[in-house]
Amino acid sequence: MNIFPRIVFVLLGLFIVLNWGLIMAGIIRKIIARLGMRRGIKVFQPYINLIKNYSIRSQLSHGVMFYLGPVFRLSGGVGIFLFMPLIYGSDYWSNFSFTGDLILITYFMFFGMLGMALGAGEGGHPYSAIGISRGLAQFTAIEVPMTLAILSIAIQYQTLSISEIVAAQQGGIQNWTMVTNPLATIAAMLSFLGAMGHSPFNVVMAPQENPVGPPTEYHGTFLGVLQTNRAILHVIEAVLYMNLFFGGASNWGVLIIKTFLIYFWSVFVGMVFPRFRVDQSIPWFLKIPLVIGIAAIVVFII
């Protein structure tokens, strides 16, 4: 496909994902509130927040890196979007996934994290640095079961290309990785809990003790950029899991339903369990999820 139509489709896809991300955030928060016996916000509150933040006039900057932080962060989010095939069988919605495979996406996650960490770091607020150090430390452990799961499905399908993994799962629910490789799916979904940053793994941005963690110093447009990114990132991470374990999506409707359910899994767990400290969550990931992840590989070696 020519490059210009592709760019048009990419932008269109980005627009859909952003909007779905914002709406999903609103719905989720509404659900959380109702479960907590509160009325909760409006479903469109994320839109309102975004518009408000982008239109705030006072803009304060701590320096160049502080300025670049949100850019890195959003590039990270959008970048993953760009390298991710969205809809199975559709060349229009496969974005730039031809440049790199699954490994590219797993490593590109760090791009935004790093930029954000540096930007927040220049803000000079100790809470930012504390949040980042917690986040990074926790992330090392979260990645372990995820990596094992990725290795497991790479052995299973003998490919690292996401499109091919999705292709291999077509033809009904019995072909989904969830069914064919349940251990890897369990390991990955446990790791997903950590990646989404909901309770019990939300000590990074823990509102009660550590205002909001890394973005503490960000406001106005900067915060708007971060919120935009969060909306995109939540959807696109769910898309990743969908592609790897739940058969991918053959149209936008399936995509929206599946991503919602996947994302809701982390919210669901978060509603039930209290928060872990970092030194509790790391050993947690290195116990049961790790064992399951190893089992997922052992199954294929034997």
Partner 1 sequence: MVNPIYIIAVLLGTAFLLGLFRKKGFEFGMALGMLAIAFAAVISVHWFIHLYSGTEGGLNIYTAGSKPPFSINLFMGVEESFFMSAINILGLLGFIYLFRAFREQGLKSSVLFLVLIMGMNVLIMSRDIFNLFVFLEIVSIALAGLIYLKRGKESAAAGFKYLIAIGVISAMLLIGISFFYLFAGTLNIDDYLQSNTLPVKGISVAIFLMLIAILLELKPFPANGWALDVYEAAHPGISAMISSGTATASIFLLYKLLPLSSLDWLPYLTVIGAVTFVGSNLLGIVQKNSNRLLGYSSIGQIGLMIAIIGLAPRLGDHFNFIFVSIFISHFLAKAGLFWISGIIMRSNIREWSVLRRNRLSLFMFGLFILMLIGFPPFPSFYGKWQLVMDLAQHKSFVWIAVILAGSFIEGIYLFRWFGYAMKEQDDEEKKIIFQWEKLIPPIVFSVLALGASYYTNNLSLLGPTLNLIPIYFILALFVLDFLPAFVKNSLVIAGMIIYSVLLYPSIADDTLRLIFGGIFMVGGVLTLFAGYSEKGKREGFFPFAVMMYAGLIGLIQAENLFQFFFSWEIMTLGSYILIIRGKKSMKHALNYMLFSLGGAYLIFIGFALSHIGQVTFDLQTLSSTILPGWTYTLIAIGFLTKTAAIGLHIWLPGAHAEAESDVSPMVSGILLKAGVFGLVLLFLLMGAEQAEQKNLLYILGWLGAITALGGNLMAVFQEDAKRLLAYSSVGNLGYILFALAFVTHVGWMTALTYSVNHFLFKTLLFLAIGGVVMRVKTHNMYEMGGLIKQMPLSFIAVLIGIITLAGIPPLAGYGGKWLFYNAVLSKGWYFQGMFIFFAGTIAFLYCFKLIYSVFLGQPKDKFRQVKEAPVWYLIPQIILIIGIMVFSARPDLLLKPVGTMLSQSNYFPTDPLNWENVTASTDLGYWSGYKIMLVIGVMFIILLSWLLLMSRKAQKIKQFNIVYAGERPFKPETTHFSHNMFSHFYKALGFLSIPVVSAFWNGLNSVTHSMAENTRKIYSGNGQTYIVHIMLYIIIIYMLMF
For residues 96-155, which are near partner 1 according to CB under 8 A?
96, 98-104, 107-108, 110-111, 113-114, 117-118, 121-126, 129-130, 132-134, 136-137, 139-141, 143-144, 147-148, 151, 154-155
CA distance 154 to 67: 39
| Contact indicator for 164, 107 with CB cutoff of 8 Å | no
Q: Is the dihedral of CA 283, 285, 289, 290 positive or negative?
A: negative
Residue 301, interface with partner 1 (CB under 8 A)? yes
* Region of 20-28, 180-188, 245-253, 278-286 interacting with partner 1 (CB under 8 A): 278-286
Residue 70, interface with partner 1 (CB under 8 A)? yes
CB 297, min distance to partner 1, A: 5
Q: For residue 192, give both structure tokens.
A: 């997903």
Output phi, psi for 123, to 5 deg: -55, -25
Q: Crossing angle of helices 220-245/182-196, nearest 10°?
A: 170
Between 196 and 267, whose beta carbon lies closer to partner 1?
196
- For residues 225 to 254, the per-residue mask of contacts with partner 1, x marking binding by CB under 8 A and - elsewhere, is x-----------------------------
Query: Judged by CB under 8 A, which of 21, 23, 183, 217 binds partner 1?
Result: 217
CB 40, min distance to partner 1, A: 26
Residue 71, interface with partner 1 (CB under 8 A)? yes
Q: From the CA atom positions of the chain, what is the Rg in Å? A: 19
CB 22, min distance to partner 1, A: 18
168-197 residues in contact with partner 1 (CB under 8 A) are none
Between 164 and 268, whose beta carbon lies closer to partner 1?
164
Q: Is the dihedral of CA 85, 86, 90, 93 positive or negative?
A: negative
60: left (phi over 0), alpha (psi -120 to 50) or beta: beta
CB 99, min distance to partner 1, A: 4
193-212 residues in contact with partner 1 (CB under 8 A) are 211
| Contact indicator for 299, 149 with CB cutoff of 8 Å | no
CB 245, min distance to partner 1, A: 18
124: left (phi over 0), alpha (psi -120 to 50) or beta: left
| Contact indicator for 123, 218 with CB cutoff of 8 Å | yes
